[in-house]
Amino acid sequence: MGSGKSSIGPQLARGLGLSYIDLDELIERRERMTIGEIFQNKGEKFFRQLEETVLEEVARMPGDCVLSCGGGIVLSEKNRALLRTGFVSVWIDVPLDELLGRLELERSARPLLAEAGYRSRAAALLAQRVALYESASRYRYTWKKGEDAAASAAVIAEMLKK
């Protein structure tokens, strides 16, 4: 959440000559609701099940793509295994302070951060998920201060070529 997936992903796809898919956008189109509305109206459990189903569908699509997934995708062992085996997954590792700054203006659109105390909630979520991101990813890209999406995409593309 806030790592830059939706900014870096399209640029990485263009640089690699691949299509770009945002898993959350697929889910929103399918449900005709925002992620926030899905959480509010149907609950997180429903969303996580739908997320798993849509990830499996994308994995069966022919051809390669750059796929951006929401930060909670790694909560399911099934999803982590699929990310490891069905995709060349990259964890975009961004320091907590930077994430908090990025998320400040869009908190209301983030169901898990919309309430008071979001800073400690974000820290707890990151601490809970770091090992999961690591286990689901083949590569780890560590964001550097001042690096924009284009520069990040270029660094990731080079990592993938090795």
Residue 110: CATH number of its domain: 3.40.50.300
Structural domain boundaries enclosing 55: 5-161
Average pLDDT over every residue of 45-60 = 97
Number of domains in the chain: 1
* Mean pLDDT to the nearest integer, 3-9: 91
* pLDDT confidence band for 102 (50 / 70 / 90): confident
Confidence (pLDDT) at 115: 65
pLDDT of residue 57: 97
Structure tokens at 50: 């739908």
Contacts of 137 (CB under 8 A, 6+ apart): 83, 84, 89, 90, 91
- Residue 30 pLDDT: 96
pLDDT of residue 41: 96
The predicted structure's pLDDT at residue 101: 79
Mean pLDDT of the chain: 90
Mean pLDDT of the 100-125 span: 70
Is a pLDDT exceeding 80 seen at residue 87? yes
pTM: 0.84
- Strand partners of residue 22: 68
What integer pLDDT is reported at residue 111 of this predicted model? 60
